[in-house]
Structure 1
Amino acid sequence: MADLFDNLPSPGPREETLAEGAVLLRGFAGDVAETLLAAVDAVAAAAPFRHLVTPGGYLMSVAMTNCGVVGWVSDRSGYRYDTHDPTTGEPWPPLPAAFLALAAGAAARAGFPGFAPDACLINRYEPGTRLSLHQDRDERDTGAPIVSVSLGLPATFLFGGLQRSDPTRKVRVEHGDVAVWGGPARLAFHGVAPLAEGSHARVGRQRINLTFRKAL
């Protein structure tokens, strides 16, 4: 899949530093967005989107599914990674080659070469849905970065510090943008503000987010 990335944007003004160890790559996935969305459709056909329940008993507004060696799940017993989809009882679909190529390429561009994710969380937002500030800390390997790909409707990405009370930066992310954070920013609090109403030519009233992690 490396040929998909031959014409990606060169370093320059399309890269925006969010914090030490965190960068936003504007339009990095734009040329392969359709390939990524087709792969999302294939994953969702085998492991449908669902609204997870939090340990506190609340239903998440964002729908999600997973692919990879493990998938992230939540229920009344807690947050965790699992090798099988609790809805179907089947192993999660494997990571598509296009996913792996993009995640590795974005991580390398951001200064984290050799990234090989084993999990991809796929979140589906609709207008009004949000993701509250949180840390990605369920992974065994926090030395690897997080790679987050935005597809569909634009959103306001919230990026803070290592404490929930730290100032939070609001950044507009659009179709094809990729955020990468690791190193000193690996455990930064982050989230998504309520998605504004709108319609995207490919996915309609939705935003699709791919979050790549090294979980094991």
Structure 2
Amino acid sequence: MIRVLLADDETMIRAGVAAILATDPEIEVVAEAGDGAEAVALARAHRPDVALLDIRMPKMDGLAAAAELRNAMPEVAVIMLTTFDEDAYVSQALSQGASGFMLKAADPRELIIGVKAAADGAAYLSPRIAQRVITQLNGGRLERVAPARERIKALTPRERAVLALIGKGESNHDIAKQLHISEGTVKGHVSTILIRLEAKNRVQAAITAYEAGLVAD
């Protein structure tokens, strides 16, 4: 069962998202918060697998809450769920260690897919957001190729193989299956990769894989 914390200052939005998640028997909403500070407190109490955070909330916004969760409970995957898709928000969310960024206007099925991906250790961006990130990466990519390739020199061949699959958006389960190793081994490799690349999360690691040429366009 995937345990989810839902935080949004609009009661109707929370009810709608909770109703969507309730349609999947593998997902359980264990707590709901109306602001960022409450979300952090409830996360400490309930230890969810995934935290769905709105960006604009009172007392503490979703970005600040994501940073708090990243520092205190790095095992909790954070997905930003918002109406707004401005580039600044996407950049801030990913820099704060978010595992995903989704829009409230997206297909309800996408929400379930994103939660399951995050719970399985994968990164997830709404298709509209993902396309914009790729476009931004392509602009000035040549300037980042050499530094990225230098960073991945610290990785073993196996770690590079894992990083390439992270870059493709594969989950730990899928990586284990493709490389014929256990999920526990994959998790160990991922932890080492993040440390050696000085990446806060899988999204940043995936960007490095893309810039270093480990992922084909």
Answer with 1 or 2: which has the greater Rg.
2
* TM-score, with structure 2 as normaliser: 0.26
* TM-score, with structure 1 as normaliser: 0.26
- Bigger fraction of residues in helix: 2
- Bigger fraction of residues in strand: 1
